[in-house]
Amino acid sequence: KVIEEINVGLNRCGVEPGKPAVELAEKISKSKGLIFEGVLGFEGYAIWIKEFKEREKACKECYRKLIETVKEIEKAGINVNTVGAGGTGSFNIAAEYPGINEIQPGHYAIMSASHLMIEGIPFKPALTILTTIISKPTETRAVIDGGVKTFSLMLGNPIVKDIEGVTVSALHVEHGILKLSSNCSRNLSVGDKIEFIPAYSETAINLFDKVYVVKGDEVIATWKVEARGRVD
């Protein structure tokens, strides 16, 4: 079974909408051993637009290209069973768009700090990374035992959970530098544990072998990150 990717504007992979997509669908459906299952489009550049209305508009422009192409493929006599689209920033827009019958949000179960920055996402971040303060050289600077190898650099620095007045000012390889404001809501010392919400969970979770599932103060399960290292 083959799903054909259509380039709806991200300009990454995918065949162009319209004629090239129809021709590829015909080629697939005529190929021995292959079954043409459907199409997908990914509006990856549009899902990060902060304002919901603007995001909706940009996403719908992508879906329009996708659905028009679906209709052309069907006109060529080929069944299109699956029509996939959407990301974590657009799952609700994609889900309501006529003709889309599968959504593909990757983050929604754990979310990221970067999703807090865009409007209209009803989920809270579930994934946090626990670090320890290993140094507090001045009143305004503390150093944690987490850096690029802990959080990744994708979409910026992590944000601290449940403490006011603390920001990450830099990530080094194995160190993170915290800037402490004078009205910091916790008096932080060496040895203190702090939780961070990574800017982009997908590239952070991949840096760990396991995830601890916590309910209240209790660890109720330990999950292996099965896909870790599966980039080869």
Q: Pick from 98, 122, 191, 229: which binds a copy of itself (CB under 8 A)?
A: 229
CA dist 103 and 92 (Å) reads 9
Q: Give the number of C-alpha atoms closer than 13 A to the C-alpha of residue 71, restricted to the C-beta side.
A: 8
User: Could you tell me where the beta strands, DSSP code E, fall in 94-165?
Assistant: 102-103, 129-138, 141-144, 159-160
Residue 152 lies near a copy of itself (rule: CB under 8 A): yes
Q: Which of 13, 219, 220, 221 binds a copy of itself (CB under 8 A)?
A: 13
Calculate the alpha carbon distances from 194 to 15, 27, 108, 160 in Å.
46, 55, 24, 7
CA 144 – CA 177 distance, rounded (Å): 7
Classify strands 102-103 and 129-138 as parallel, antiparallel or unpaired: unpaired
Q: How far is the CB of 52 from a copy of itself (least distance, A)?
A: 23
Query: E strands within 72-227?
Result: 82-85, 102-103, 129-138, 141-144, 159-160, 166-171, 176-180, 193-197, 210-215, 218-224
What mask of x and - would describe binding to a copy of itself in positions 23 to 42, judged by CB under 8 A?
A: --------------------
Cβ-based nearer residue to a copy of itself, 97 or 177: 177
CB of 111 to a copy of itself, least distance (A): 15
* Token code pair at residue 116: 């807090």
Give the per-residue contact string, 104-143, with a copy of itself (x = CB under 8 A; - = no).
------------------------------xx-x---x-x
Q: Which is nearer to a copy of itself, 49 or 97 (CB)?
A: 49
Touching a copy of itself, residues 167-196 (CB under 8 A): 172-175, 177
Residue 152 and residue 53: Cα distance in Å, rounded? 30
Least CB distance from residue 208 to a copy of itself, whole Å?
Answer: 6
| Residue 148 sits in the site that holds a copy of itself (CB under 8 A) | yes
Interface residues toward a copy of itself, by CB under 8 A: 7, 11-16, 44, 134-135, 137, 141, 143, 145-146, 148-150, 152-154, 172-175, 177, 202-203, 206-209, 228-229, 231-232
